[in-house]
């Protein structure tokens, strides 16, 4: 990925990937740890909201409480980010109090869908990137294709550009 100049294409899926809301989206990949995204938006280093236009937002969280995740998502909603993105990819939650059992209520999917409301945004959940487990590449800024219903995510551009010769 770091040396090839061809797009990777479809990332390897796993049985853990879940379609939380079906649909397709294509756009630049943007994201990271959700609490860092939210905190950065409250500083002079905030990304301009236009950077989220048509983007596929990926995020994960490690530690804390399920209620914090709900609050962070509401901040993204209230500042307009959730009205600008075309899709969402959510990482596997790690060490989040209130989500550790399979029958936790509400589940992370329920929290995400509650905050999204009637926004027609496809959501793919439990994708292995970030802090926990296998770590799929999520190169910020390159175009991706998301098909939540088919549980696929493809990198449409190379992560590196060929070196121009003079």
Closest to 68 in 3D by CA, of 45, 99, 40? 99
pLDDT for 67 equals: 93
Domain spans of the chain, in order of start: 9-155
Residues of the chain with pLDDT under 70: 1, 132-133, 163-166
CATH of 9-155, one of 3.20.20.70, 3.90.190.20, 3.50.30.60, 3.40.190.290: 3.50.30.60
Tokens of 16: 């853990």
Q: pLDDT at position 6, please? A: 87
**The pLDDT value given to residue 164:** 64
Q: Please tell me the predicted confidence (pLDDT) of residue 163.
A: 65
Write down the pLDDT at residue 51: 97
* CA angle, residues 85, 89, 94, in degrees to nearest 5: 135
What are the structure tokens assigned to 30, written together? 């943007």
Q: What is the pTM of this model?
A: 0.93
Summarised one tens digit per residue, pLDDT across range 149-159 is 999 999 999 98
């Amino acid at each position: 990925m770091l040396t090839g100049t061809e797009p990777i294409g479809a990332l390897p899926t796993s049985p853990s990937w879940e379609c939380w809301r079906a649909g397709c989206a294509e756009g630049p990949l943007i994201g990271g740890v959700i609490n860092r995204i939210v905190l950065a938006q409250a500083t002079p280093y905030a990304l301009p909201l236009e950077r989220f236009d048509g983007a596929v937002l990926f995020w994960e969280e490690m530690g804390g409480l399920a209620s914090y995740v709900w609050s962070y998502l509401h901040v993204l909603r209230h500042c307009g980010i959730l009205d600008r993105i075309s899709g969402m990819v959510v990482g596997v939650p790690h060490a989040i109090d209130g989500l550790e059992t399979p029958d936790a209520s509400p589940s992370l999917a329920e929290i995400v869908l509650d905050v999204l409301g009637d926004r027609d945004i496809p959501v793919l959940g439990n994708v292995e990137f970030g802090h926990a487990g296998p770590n799929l590449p999520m190169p910020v800024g390159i175009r991706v294709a998301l098909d939540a219903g088919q549980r696929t995510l493809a990198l449409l551009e190379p992560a590196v550009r060929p070196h121009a010769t003079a």
